[in-house]
Amino acid sequence: MARSVIPDAVVPDAPRTRGVPARSTPLALLLSLRPEQWTKNVIVFAGLLFGRQLFHPDAVLSALAAFAIFCALSGVVYLVNDVADRDGDRNHPLKSQRPIAAGELGVPAALGAAAAIGLAGVAASYALRPLFAVVALSYILLLGAYSKWLKHVVIVDVLTIAMGFVLRAVAGAVAVGVPISDWLLVCTILLALFIALSKRRHELVLLAHNATGHRRILGEYSPYLLDQMIGVVTASTLIAYTFYTISPETQEKFGTPLLGLTVPFPLYGIFRYLYLVHKREGGGSPTSMLLNDRPLLACVALWVVAVVLIVYRPFGIL
């Protein structure tokens, strides 16, 4: 049964579930940064991979620094979002156990940590590259606007999440000083939309009649509407990636027409994801699905290996 929502003016921090030991403040802060979600930031390595900089040590170090900075900045976004969503999260069977919703991490402490980490992250991004700092700050502002306003606007909410992934990809390219293909940016936003819409569907189905108590915007969606959107985005993602791999520009850049051979990997990966969403009731945590589903994880790993072999042709193969 859903837990009642108690205004913070009356009880600032909701009590933790009876019988579950409280976590220390440092641990609660670390969990609120959601390190298990940091794998989403691997998209910053797209510029390194497709910019043909994978075997350049300086570029690799810059990409790793960009990854670490975005892990910190995404943690800031999670802190701010959990503060904004703490009342609704208490009505969710899983999110109610998040430290802020459970009352283990106070709002002042969470916002103070977010400010400190955010300032440090922006300073580090400027030290890496001034243009990288512009992209990083844009990411913070966009996702901050999402936490405050945009998540309450139908369709705009999932588009904002997708744009967050695009900014990560752009930041990765800026960090290593390489241009990034427009096609890859299109693929990024479409794939991110696919994941965001699947997550909305999972929330709607899981919470059923209590969905709007957790997130008001869910009342604007229906499983049928989301399935229609997911269908459009799925087809668009596969078509965009296929066009990218077989375009004359791509073949000229990499000196090979073989990148089209990698199309079966995103095809299987997306279909596998849909299978998990519809048959295994997954989709709530894309990161957990990727790390816990061996076929999906193997698909991503094989795609990376195939791209490296085709783009870099180590040992003179291909």
Consecutive sets of 10 residues in the chain, 318 residues long: mean pLDDT of each? 38 45 81 88 93 93 96 92 82 80 87 92 94 94 88 92 94 92 90 91 76 72 92 95 93 92 96 88 74 92 95 72
The pLDDT score that the predictor gives to residue 212 is 61
Which pTM does this prediction carry? 0.83
Which residues 6+ apart lie within 8 Å of 70 measured at CB?
41, 44, 136, 139, 168, 171
| Whole-angstrom distance, CA of residue 184 vs CA of residue 263 | 14
Q: Which of helix, strand or coil describes residue 222?
A: coil
In contact, 310 and 258? CB cutoff 8 Å: yes
The pLDDT score that the predictor gives to residue 10 is 35
The pLDDT score that the predictor gives to residue 18 is 45
The pLDDT score that the predictor gives to residue 7 is 39
The pLDDT score that the predictor gives to residue 210 is 67
190's tokens: 């479409």
The pLDDT score that the predictor gives to residue 318 is 56
